[in-house]
Structure 1
Amino acid sequence: MTSPPPEESPAPDDHLAGFPEILAEVSATGRRLTRDELDSRRLAGERAAEHAYGLRRLVAEHLDAARTGWSALPGATAAHSTRELRRVVDCVLAATQQTVDAVAEGYERAQRLAVRKEEAARREFIDDLLHGRSDLGRLAHRAERLGLRLAHEHTVAVAEGPVAYDETDPAARRVESALLARFGDRRILLTTKEGRLVLVAPATQEDVVRSFAKQAHAAMDAMDTEGTAEGTGRVAIGRAHPGPGGVVRSYEEALGALELADRMDLPGPLLHAVDLLVFPVLSRDRQAMADLVRTTLGPLEQARGGAEPLLRTLVAWFDAGCVAAETARRLSLSVRALTYRLARVHQLTGADPADPMHRYTLQTAVIGARLLDWPARPL
């Protein structure tokens, strides 16, 4: 079966249609272009842009048409003196300038419209991809246009800073420029979503993800240095999963890691969802976890000042690896005061924080309390 011939670019005459007639009229009358004539030139520029016709080439063809057609213009042939000829030249040059301005205006307007359409389509694709709201086959086809092969495994990394970001934000532009400069076209997608920076990258390209985390932190720190915001941000990395649904899952894991870090006040600017899998497991049965917290830590509410000071002591105790001196330093207490608090926990709950047999139950209950925001929220 014979393949159809490739589509050719429009002939130059298509874009120049009507222009020689305009010059002929102007040379004879000396008038400026009418509104309809300017609109026709803008339309010619729009059509040229839609057919990927170069603007420089388009302008050059209009100038060439004015130059080569000069000798046949009625005003030029009818001129009987140098003064009349000069007047015709000025009129034709002014008309050519008006024409070129109108053509460029139409061309640029068409380009801006095309960019807006492309950006709208890209944003719609990103929304569908990260929320799994589209037919998978159609989604994969649309992904190819952006350089993604969704049949492969992908990892999603999400950066959350002290302020919300959009694609025009300096931090987003810094990260994008750094990644493009180092990796070029690596079949990655960098965007913003709900005030966060989001990277979708093939699972095999761990160097891209690491560089994204590094550049995101650098951009956030730069904003802090400039006094734009206070505090630092976090980057969370989801696990690698195959297919379009895998992108959604990795994205949700990264978001879950950021939410968990806020709730649990987890240390470190870089979070890996794979390192936090124990927390979703513990919180899956909310009622059982609430029962554990109530039974194990509920008696702490009998202490002077309520449960919060002693719960904070247990958190620091476990975070410090159950080392008394380090725990006391983190709490700005003396070791003697810390020992008194731990003894008070033992007295109220019956569980000794220093006893390995009791430690697991206490630490699990403390994690549950932080997940459930107890005692701020009643169980």
Structure 2
Amino acid sequence: MPRRANLSARTRGRIAARTGDLVRAAVADIEARHGWYAALSARDRASVALVAHGGIENFVAWLAGDEGSAAHAQDIFDAAPPELTRSISLAQTLDLIRSVVDVVEAQAAHLVGEQAAPAVREAMLRYSRDVAFGAAHIYARAAEQRGAWDARLEALVVDAILRGDADDGMQSRAAALGWGATAKVAVVAGTPPAATGPAGDPAFVLDHIHRTAARHGLQVLAAIQAGRLIVLIGDTADALDDAKALRECFGDGPIVVGPTVPHLFAAGRSARAAISGHTGAAAWPDAPRPARSDDLLAERALIGDLPARNALRSRIVGPLTQISGGDLMRTATAYLETGRSIEATARALFVHANTVRYRLARIAELTGYDLSDPHDADTVHLAVRLERLKDAAAATPR
């Protein structure tokens, strides 16, 4: 059987002269066999035709080359826009190559005659193998470039949210990452894994998060900022539950989930709460992992978080002061300052012990804080003390 370099110039010329017909036949074959082609835009369909045309022209040039030289897939894709690798997948590109091969094989005898047809068929099979490997390399390189670009965009979006610069520029970057219409966003703050070995490499950490998120069907953005691992979870129905699914991606130490906000522009509020909670969590070593930032209001208030202090006042002091003429506030204060004893509280307030029990139940119902729980009791006690400081400051002459 003739080697490819021994195919005559006349044979190669006959193939080249039919390039247009072969391209049309290949595109028709793709359209008939693969539904993805019809879903492409007109521009992308034209680009696919350019690739098919380049493939056949390159095949003719390859036939004239030295035996053993490889086909250069990049030459085939040069005529098409670089974005084509985003529009069609590697598998779809292999569909395209297969259609070109099938068309050339089917028409070989008609193109060059029965005697030269076997050589053309063998040459096309060898050529298509080289092109397929080359296409895989092109897609792998494009994926690496997209991955690096997406990682930079991701870091910029997270940084803008942490700095409070959620402007239109941030929104356009987020849209490029598929977050243009994302709602129900929560921010999770934790410690990255130890910086020893590959598991501590930032690229590995972020890739691990994305793989884990994909496994659980979560939409995330992530970055390592100022020694913290920050993860944004989008379209979340239960941010705490979602954070539990990502727990394995964090290093030792607290993991804190900020409140769920309606959209990305408001994510800074969730981020500030999560970071504040992560900082203050050292004061509560037994905190759940992950914990809600709202569960750490007392710890956040201790480090000077003003929103946390305001939340303590609105959720605890306000309701207890306004209900029953302040009886609940007095009961809470007496209970917390008499060793958390129902009997001692009853004596201090000159009421029956059952009245104290009833009021403690009402306090839990109104505020969500159960004074029989040590951490809840500490949180309410801190709220009471902060209110006293506020009252004292207001009464001090200036």
- TM bracket (short chain): 0.5 to 0.7
What is the identity percentage for the equivalent residue pairs of Structure 1 and Structure 2?
16
Question: What's the offset of the Cα at 1:251?
Answer: 0.9
| Separation in 1, partners of 2:81, 2:42 | 22
Q: TM-score, normalised by structure 1?
A: 0.52
In 2, the alpha carbon distance for the partners of 1:284 and 1:11 equals 59
| Cα separation, 2, equivalents of 1:282 and 1:22 | 71
TM (norm. structure 2) is 0.50
Tell me the residue number matched to 1:253. 273
**Counterpart selection for 2:53 from 17, 20, 27:** 17
Shift of the alpha carbon at 1:120? Answer: 3.0
Tell me which residue corresponds to 1:58: 96
Residues 236 and 258 of structure 1 are in contact (CA less than 8 Å); yes or no, is this contact kept in structure 2? yes
User: Larger relative contact order (C-alpha < 8 A, sep ≥ 6)?
Assistant: 1
> Is it true that 1:215 corresponds to 2:248 in the alignment?
no
Query: Which residue identity does 1:234 align to in structure 2?
Result: P
Contact 1:41–1:102 (8 Å) recurs in 2? no
Equivalent residue letter for 2:93: L
Verify the 8 A CA contact 1:45 1:107 in the aligned structure 2.
no
> SS of 1:116's equivalent?
helix
Question: How many Å apart are 1:113 and its aligned residue?
Answer: 2.9
TM-aligned CA distance change 1:18 to 1:282, over 3 Å: closer
Cα offset, 1:157, TM superposition: 2.6
Q: Is the 8 A contact 1:191 1:199 kept in 2?
A: yes
CA distance in 2, matches of 1:174, 1:106: 23
Q: When the two structures are aligned, how many residues end up with a matched partner? A: 265
Q: What is the CA RMSD across the aligned residues, in angstroms?
A: 4.7
Alpha-carbon separation, structure 2, partners of 1:32 and 1:162? 49
CA distance, structure 2, for counterparts of residue 283 and residue 100 of structure 1: 60
Q: Which of 205, 209, 212 is the matching residue for 1:172?
A: 209
Give 1:63 shift.
0.9
**1:214 is aligned with what amino acid?**
K
Contact 1:33/1:95, CA 8 A, preserved across alignment: no
SS in 2 for 1:168: helix
Q: Which amino acid aligns with 1:252?
A: R
Show CA shifts across 1:189-247 (max 9, x none): 35243352523346xx5x52121243344x27xx9xxxxx8xx5322122455665531
What is the alpha-carbon distance in structure 2 between the residues aligned to residue 174 and residue 97 of structure 1?
Answer: 31
Residues 237 and 254 of structure 1 are in contact (CA less than 8 Å); yes or no, is this contact kept in structure 2?
yes
Q: Show the counterpart of 1:198.
A: 231
The whole-number CA distance in structure 1 between the counterparts of 2:211 and 2:87 is 33
Deviations 1:135-186 (A, max 9, x none): 2x34345445534657x66432323366366463486367414531xxx6xx
CA distance, structure 2, for counterparts of residue 177 and residue 19 of structure 1: 36
Gaps of 5+ in 2: 1-40, 306-335, 342-380, 387-398
Shift of 1:255: 1.2
Alignment deviations for residues 263-309 of structure 1 (CA, whole Å, 9 cap, x no partner)? x2542234433344445555549xxxxxxxxxxxxxxxxxxxxxxxx
Which amino acid in structure 2 is aligned with residue 189 of structure 1? Answer: V
Cα offset, 1:132, TM superposition: 2.6
Unpaired segments ≥5 residues, structure 1: 80-84, 224-228, 286-317, 324-359, 366-379
Matched with 2:29 is: none
Distance change >3 Å, CA 38–CA 259, structure 1 → 2: closer
2:221–2:231 Cα contact (<8 Å) kept? yes
